[in-house]
Amino acid sequence: MAGHAAAEKGPSSLSAAQELVINGKSQPSSDGATFTVRNPMTGHAIYECANATVDDYSRAIDTAHEAFESWSATGPSARRLIFLKAADIIESYLEADAPEILSSEVSATTSWVKVNIHATAGIFREAASLATHIRGEIVPADRPGTKILIERQALGGKAPVIVRADADLDEAVNAIVYGALAYSGQVCMSTERAIVHRSVAAELQTRVLAHIAALRCGNHLEDAAVSVSGLFTAASARRVVDLVKEAVDGGAELLAGDMEISGPCGTIVKPHVLRGVGRSARMYHEEIFGPVLMLTEFDTDDEAVELANDSDYSLCASIFSRDIMTAMDLAGRVRAGSCHINGPTVYAESSLPNGGTGGGSGYGRFGGMSGVAAFTETKIITLAKPGLRFSL
């Protein structure tokens, strides 16, 4: 398949059209159609990609069904070696042009791209270690059921950070700003709400605003010092600004940000910080998915937990306190699949399961044994007691 010239000079490995990979072989779509992948920041074409047809999808699915038979018969040790090799290959991309490619594709800073490459390799290595951990379970049931239903949903989030009066404010501020602005807030685990004890709220607000003011926002492709780059689409940028304007019109106080959009494609939105966002505002309930942080105050731990749980989302949360036992107690009361004590909400460990507890955050899990279980078919084998007789 002939390569299509890109309008923007991109990574050398993408000089030709990217093809489909079916049954281990690169190939064009069955009708030869392609679509253009564009840089969200500039709008320029990066490369052409094969546009799969229904027939292509069907062939890929059929191939997967065929491969399942041999994969099922592959022993644990062989699977482990495959996962480890995959991890090494993924990590080798750090020395190639993968960071440049991904940065161009999704408008992410190079540092954020590298974090994700390392994390992906870590997930494969964790899966490799679990492949040889075979175990059996005695389930508490007289008779097995006839069906096992597994549900997986998208992991949306609206992560809260509770900052108690005894918290280390330097650590809290660093975690809040990082959690709110990593990948311009386009992370399911992004910090959207800082719930701060009234006695330290003014001090924390001052430090957060100073920290954000020191960050550079703009086009990361032109300025390597940029920490907060553009959003993935212009529509995303418009939605974020609309949410901010609506909240301000409803009485919220705008502490940082200009409610403007910039950049060649209208995707750059500066970090915004608001205080006093009312429950009637859409941003109070909806996942913002942009560089926006809401500040609110509390007087008692019970109030902090109530505010943290006042959301349909339940993916993750953080609690900052020097009183670890109290923080542990609060962590148990906050409705979240993951709760980090004295750490940012944007954190995932490949050996641990990550996911929500329902609502807008779904029920799926990734990481650890739970992540492997998501790709594993549960099979029940029973052994009847000798001499057991059944009556009709």
Q: Are residues 58 and 164 in the same domain?
A: no
Domain presence at residue 24? yes
Q: Are residues 176 and 286 in the same domain?
A: yes
Strand partners, 273: 256, 293
Domain presence at residue 203? yes
Per DSSP, the three-state class of 115 is helix
299 closest CA partner among 307, 309, 290, 291: 307
Domain presence at residue 76? yes
Domain presence at residue 387? no
Domain presence at residue 88? yes
The per-residue pLDDT for 1 is 32
Domain presence at residue 373? no
Domain presence at residue 378? no
Q: Are residues 314 and 177 in the same domain?
A: yes
Residue 288 and residue 239: Cα distance in Å, rounded?
8
Q: What is the DSSP letter of 94?
A: G
The per-residue pLDDT for 242 is 99
Q: Are residues 63 and 167 in the same domain?
A: no
Q: Are residues 209 and 111 in the same domain?
A: no
The per-residue pLDDT for 314 is 86
Phi, psi of 378 (to 5 degrees): -75, 130
Q: Are residues 124 and 166 in the same domain?
A: no
Q: Are residues 29 and 110 in the same domain?
A: yes
Q: Are residues 224 and 339 in the same domain?
A: yes
The per-residue pLDDT for 128 is 87
- The domain spanning residue 217 has which CATH number? 3.40.309.10
3-state helix, strand, coil in the chain (%, to 5): 40, 15, 45
pTM across the whole model: 0.80
First CA to last CA distance, the chain:
67
Q: Are residues 218 and 346 in the same domain?
A: yes
The per-residue pLDDT for 133 is 67
Task: Give the tens place of pLDDT for each residue, 77-112.
Answer: 999 999 999 999 999 999 888 888 889 898 899 999
Which tokens hold the place of 241? 């600004």
The per-residue pLDDT for 374 is 66
- What stretches in the chain show pLDDT beneath 70? 1-16, 133-154, 361-368, 370-372, 374-375, 377-379
Average pLDDT, the chain: 88
Q: What is the DSSP letter of 11?
A: -
Task: Give the tens place of pLDDT for each residue, 251-260.
Answer: 999 999 999 9
Per DSSP, the three-state class of 114 is helix
Domain presence at residue 10? no
Q: Are residues 207 and 338 in the same domain?
A: yes
- The domain spanning residue 37 has which CATH number? 3.40.605.10
Structural domain that includes position 47: 20-131
Residue 194 and residue 318: Cα distance in Å, rounded?
9
Query: How many domains, in total, are found in the chain?
Result: 2
CA atoms within 13 A on the CB side of 133: 9
